């Protein structure tokens, strides 16, 4: 068993050395890779704030990519489960994606929170229900 562990360690060691070198070579061959990496880092950093996550999700919606918008909000809510604005948007997206069971689950989480009339109206328009209609 110890022999296998050492063998795997020695087999994996070149990969640890070669992976960064391959990345550098790829960047040298493709100058756009730096710009793409910078855009990705910016997008990831932008999702760390509620405003950034909402903005990113809204851009995905404008681009017609509802699933990506939902993923952005879901990822943000994992880190900040108390974000009411993100949860309202996420619930509305779930309704638009016809995932009513998941949307109802999110609405139940919002039921204990006081949300604004604008947000209630948005949920009523998109989902057909509001947090007042959800039984806990």
9-18 pLDDT, tens digit each:
444 444 444 4
Per-residue pLDDT tens digits for 37-84: 555 545 554 457 999 999 999 999 999 999 999 999 999 999 999 999
The sign of the torsion formed by the CA atoms of 45, 47, 48, 53 equals positive
| Fold entry, domain 49-133 | 1.25.40
d(CA 136, CA 133): 10
d(CA 96, CA 65): 12
* Predicted TM-score (pTM) of this structure: 0.63
pLDDT at residue 130 in the model: 65
Q: Averaged over 23-50, what is the pLDDT?
A: 59
pLDDT at residue 122 in the model: 86
Burial of 111 (0-12, 13-18, 19+ CB in 10 A): middle
């Amino acid at each position: 068993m110890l022999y296998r562990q050492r063998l795997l360690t020695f087999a994996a060691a070149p990969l640890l050395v070669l992976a960064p070198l391959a990345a550098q070579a790829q960047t040298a061959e493709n100058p756009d890779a730096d710009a793409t990496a910078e855009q990705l880092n910016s997008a990831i950093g932008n999702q760390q704030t509620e405003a950034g996550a909402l903005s990113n999700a809204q851009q995905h919606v404008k681009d017609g990519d509802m699933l990506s918008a939902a993923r952005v909000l879901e990822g943000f809510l994992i880190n900040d489960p108390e974000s009411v604005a993100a949860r309202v948007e996420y619930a509305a997206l779930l309704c638009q994606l016809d995932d009513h069971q998941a949307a109802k689950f999110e609405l139940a989480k919002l039921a204990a929170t006081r949300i604004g009339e604008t947000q209630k109206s948005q949920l009523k328009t998109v989902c057909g229900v509001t947090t007042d209609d959800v039984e806990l």
